[in-house]
Structure 1
Amino acid sequence: MTEVIVSIFLIIGAGLSVIGSIGIIRFPDVYGRLHAATKSATLGVISIMIGIFLYFLIVQGLFVGKFLLTILFVFLTAPVAGFMIAKSAYNVKVKMWDQSTQDDLGRDLKKYKQHEKSQ
């Protein structure tokens, strides 16, 4: 039964990583590609690490804290890195997809500039 649970986590992680890879190829602009990379690939890595952690904990009887630290590290750093890359792309004026309907950062920057001028 333990192997089944571990296998489920590994399959989910591999599936999410594949979905993220397909998203990187299929999305039309850098922002969509970053979304695919940070969301599904991060969850894929975390699922795989949970499966490995459970395998060593239940089957081998070893508590390996490095796996938990790796999960925490990936969970905290991957979204921040994706956000910083997206913000950098926006600052150097990488074009959004032609059919994008919303530019929240542009709207917020305009409000901020208007607020700065009024002070």
Structure 2
Amino acid sequence: MIAKIVISIALILVVLGSIISALAAIGLLRLEDVYSRSHAAGKAATLGSMLLISGVFLFFIGEEGYVNMQLLIGILFILITGPLSSHLIIKAAYNLNTPSSKRTKYDDIKDDLPNTKI
């Protein structure tokens, strides 16, 4: 009985992760500039992949009855590298003076750091 509940929760996590990853892919296509796209990739894709891997992790616990440490390491790796990589992409784009969209009204970094590179 417990195994069916754990497998059901795993299925829900996999479906949620798939939906969030699909929305992140749509965000990558529809958003206007590199800053917005990097935000979609860094936040939504990280959450989507973490939910997918967490669902697989719970499925292995419910179906096979053992804990897969490789999946735990994968979750930790995605948790660290996803937002960090999007932050570094935004930082590099800002240093290269990549233009933002026309809807961007205010540049906080420009006012805080007038003569320095970030």
Shorter-chain TM-score above 0.5? yes
Which residue number in structure 1 is paired with residue 106 of structure 2? 102
In structure 2, the gaps of 5 or more residues are none
The one of 31, 35, 39 aligned to 1:35: 39
Which deviates the most, 98-107 or 16-25? 98-107
**Contact 2:10/2:59, CA 8 A, preserved across alignment:** yes
Aligned length: 112
1:40-119 to structure 2, matched below 5 A, reads 40-110=44-114, 113=115
Computed over aligned residues only, the root mean square deviation of the Cα atoms, in angstroms, reads: 1.3
**What is the letter of the counterpart of residue 41 of structure 2?**
A
2:14 aligned with 1:10: yes
Q: Give the Å deviation of 1:102.
A: 2.5
Deviating 4+ runs (over 4 angstroms)? none
Give 2:15's aligned amino acid: I
Tell me how far apart the structure 1 counterparts of residues 18 and 94 of structure 2 sit (CA, whole Å). Answer: 31
State the match for 2:29 in structure 1.
25
Identical-residue share of aligned pairs (%) = 35
- Return the structure number with greater helix share: 1
Paired residue secondary structure (2:113): helix
Instruction: Give the unaligned 5+ runs of structure 1.
Output: 115-119
Per the TM alignment, residue 75 of structure 1 is displaced from its structure 2 partner at its CA by 0.3
Q: Report the TM-score when normalising by structure 1.
A: 0.89
Query: Separation in 1 of the partners of 2:77 and 2:97?
Result: 30
